[in-house]
C-alpha cells in the first residue's frame, strides 16, 4: 500500500525527478508538474495527500497556484509544502500568509523533504500506512 500521494511542482526537471524517485523508493505515489497551469490541472481533479510546490514557476508563479489551490473546495485542506530557492523572510511570510503549511529552502535533501511530508500527512494517510505495516 502507498504511503501517500504526492504532487511535486518544480520547473527544474532534475530536481523534480530526484525528489520523485526518492519518494517512490520510500513507498509514495508521485506525480510531477513543471509549471503552474500543469500543477492546477493535476491537483484540482486528483486526491493528493501532499503537494510540494516551488514558488518560481513559468506561466503562473507558485504563490498564485497556492492561492488557487486554497480557494478550491477540493484542495483547500490539502497540505502544501513550499520548496523554494526564494530565501528570506518575505517569501516565507508570503507563502504562509497564502496558506502554505511549511516552507523549505533549497537546497533540500530528499530525506528532509520526506520528513516534512510525514509531518503534514493527513491523519487518514498515516492511519492507512500504519494499518498496513
Give the pLDDT mean for 101-109: 96
The total number of structural domains in the chain stands at 1
Looking at residue 27, which CATH number applies to its domain?
3.40.50.2300
Cα–Cα distance for residue pair 92/74, rounded to 1 Å: 24
101 pLDDT band, cuts 50/70/90, is: very high
pLDDT at 113: 98
CA distance to 32, 73, 80, per residue, from 41 (Å): 11, 15, 16
What percent of the chain has a predicted confidence (pLDDT) above 70? 92
pTM of the full structure: 0.91
- Residue 101 structural domain: 5-132
- 25-66 pLDDT, tens digit per residue, is 999 999 999 999 999 999 998 899 999 999 999 999 999 999
- Which helix or strand (DSSP H or E) is residue 31 part of? strand 29-33
Amino acid at each position: 500500500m502507498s504511503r501517500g500521494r504526492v504532487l511535486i511542482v518544480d520547473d527544474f526537471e532534475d530536481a523534480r525527478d530526484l525528489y520523485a524517485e526518492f519518494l517512490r523508493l520510500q513507498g509514495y505515489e508521485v506525480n510531477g508538474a513543471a509549471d503552474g497551469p500543469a500543477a492546477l490541472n493535476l491537483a484540482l481533479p486528483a486526491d493528493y495527500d501532499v503537494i510540494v510546490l516551488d514558488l518560481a514557476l513559468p506561466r503562473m508563479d507558485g504563490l498564485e497556484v497556492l492561492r488557487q489551490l486554497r480557494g478550491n473546495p477540493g484542495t483547500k485542506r490539502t497540505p502544501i509544502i513550499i520548496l523554494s530557492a526564494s530565501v528570506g523572510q518575505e517569501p516565507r511570510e508570503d507563502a504562509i500568509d497564502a496558506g502554505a503549511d511549511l516552507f523549505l529552502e533549497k537546497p533540500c535533501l530528499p530525506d528532509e523533504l520526506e520528513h516534512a511530508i510525514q509531518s503534514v500527512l493527513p491523519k487518514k494517510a498515516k492511519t492507512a500506512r500504519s494499518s498496513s505495516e
